Amino acid sequence: MTKPHILLIYTGGTIGSFRDPESGALKPLPFSDIRQFIPEIEHLTLDLEHISLPTPVDSSDMNPDLWVKLAEIIEQAYEKYDGFVVLHGTDTMAYTASALSFMFRGLKKPIIFTGSQLPVNIVRTDGRENLVTALEIASLQEEGIPSVQEVCIYFEYKLYRGNRAVKVSAEHFNAFDSPNFPPLGEAGVHIELNRKFLRKTNSKKPEVTKQLCREIAVLKIFPGMNTNILSSILKTEGLKALIIETFGSGNAPTDKPFLDLIQNAVESGIVVVNVSQCLSGSVEQTLYATGRGLEHAGVLGAGDMTTEAVITKLMYLLGNYPDISKVKELFSQNLRGELSL
């Protein structure tokens, strides 16, 4: 039986960092040093190769250009490998995983993101288990076909859909959660996949999209917010979309100046989206009067999508569909498992 052939892609992040003795800051290790600290990799039943970004980055410096570079690495290697594991910093991992999920249409192989809360050269690091199990999940097959065929995040014994995950802790090992969708798998004594929720495709090769729009803003509303803040954001040159993080199930102030600004923005061609500040639950703009004002103004409800998924979905749609009506139509559809309908 042929061993699964897995490509490990190192982008940077805590898992591959060491603490500089002079400054105390975390700095990237060469990838060869990471393998030195995780000898268990050599005992896995798979053929493993690795590649690094030319310059590993802290995930806070991740951006759409690097997402495109990562997508190109996977696209060029797609036929050669059975699966991909991406080592990534935790701070923006959910953004990158969401972005890649939209950039790859018809994915038939796993792209598993993982990382750690402690550097790999620390005795108590969580990086060893995260990486080893992510590699095992990426190599799972049934009759020669990958068991997982989507972009995921594996962290602290749980496998999550990439565009459903959010980072919920800066200091605990269980740093991620998927508040509105069940985990796709769990690693204990055995790796158990939640098969009824796994995505499958009939395509033979994915379509890879590399055009991403950056002209997007996010506004988190709060009680007593000055309407001039909203006005200033909407005057941003070239703005294509505004995401408003609202209260509860999509509720916002009902004062006329606020709603007039929103309606004028929608009428001018700016896509305005309503996403909840709550970790779990769904936007229902018609449930309360405080949400109906946004509904009447032409704001799109994000349903139960995460802010990370909404941002990257809009980047993908606005970068590839010049017709705003088409963008709005597709935004309200479940494209990659990011939205419950």
Distance separating alpha carbons of residues 28 and 31, to the nearest angstrom:
9
Residue 144: CB atoms within 10 A of its CB come to 9
The residue among 27 and 115 whose pLDDT is bigger is 115
Could you tell me if residue 341 is inside a domain? no
Give me the residues paired with residue 71 across strands. none
Q: Which domain holds residue 271?
A: 216-331
Whether residue 172 sits in one domain with residue 44: yes
CA angle 339, 138, 57 (to 5 degrees): 80
Residue pLDDT, tens place only, 156-174:
999 999 999 999 999 999 9
Distance separating alpha carbons of residues 135 and 122, to the nearest angstrom:
21
Whether residue 267 sits in one domain with residue 130: no
Whether residue 163 sits in one domain with residue 245: no
Q: Tell me the average pLDDT across 300-318.
A: 98
Could you tell me if residue 338 is inside a domain? no
What pLDDT was estimated at residue 275?
Answer: 98
Residue 176: partners with Cβ closer than 8 Å, 6 or more residues away: 90, 93, 94, 153, 155, 156, 158, 160, 165, 166, 167, 168
Could you tell me if residue 248 is inside a domain? yes
> Is the model's pLDDT at 207 over the cut of 90?
yes
Whether residue 246 sits in one domain with residue 197: no
Whether residue 250 sits in one domain with residue 169: no
Q: Is 11 a catalytic residue?
A: no
The helices-and-strands tally (H runs, E runs) of the chain is 9, 20
Could you tell me if residue 292 is inside a domain? yes
What pLDDT was estimated at residue 25?
Answer: 75
Exactly one of 14, 90, 125, 133 is catalytic; which is it?
14
What predicted TM-score, i.e. pTM, was given to this entire model?
0.96
Whether residue 170 sits in one domain with residue 76: yes
Q: Tell me the average pLDDT across 24-37.
A: 71
Question: Where does a domain end: 155, 174, 208?
Answer: 208
Distance separating alpha carbons of residues 218 and 303, to the nearest angstrom:
17
Question: Where does a domain end: 168, 187, 208?
Answer: 208
- Counting the structural domains of the chain, the total is 2
| Residue 15 pLDDT grade (very low, low, confident, very high; cuts 50, 70, 90) | confident
- What tokens does 40 get? 């268990």
What pLDDT was estimated at residue 1?
Answer: 64
pLDDT above 70 coverage of the chain, percent: 98
Distance separating alpha carbons of residues 201 and 253, to the nearest angstrom:
42
> Is the model's pLDDT at 33 over the cut of 70?
no
Could you tell me if residue 337 is inside a domain? no
Whether residue 128 sits in one domain with residue 45: yes
Residue pLDDT, tens place only, 114-134:
999 998 878 898 989 999 999
Distance separating alpha carbons of residues 84 and 49, to the nearest angstrom:
10
Whether residue 160 sits in one domain with residue 58: yes
Residue pLDDT, tens place only, 63-72:
999 999 999 9
Whether residue 202 sits in one domain with residue 275: no
Question: Where does a domain end: 156, 191, 208?
Answer: 208
Could you tell me if residue 200 is inside a domain? yes
Could you tell me if residue 336 is inside a domain? no
List, as one string, the DSSP characters of 220-286. E--TT--HHHHHHHHTSTT--EEEEEEBTTTB----HHHHHHHHHHHHTT-EEEEEESSSSS---TT
Whether residue 318 sits in one domain with residue 194: no
Supply the CATH number for residue 47's domain.
3.40.50.1170
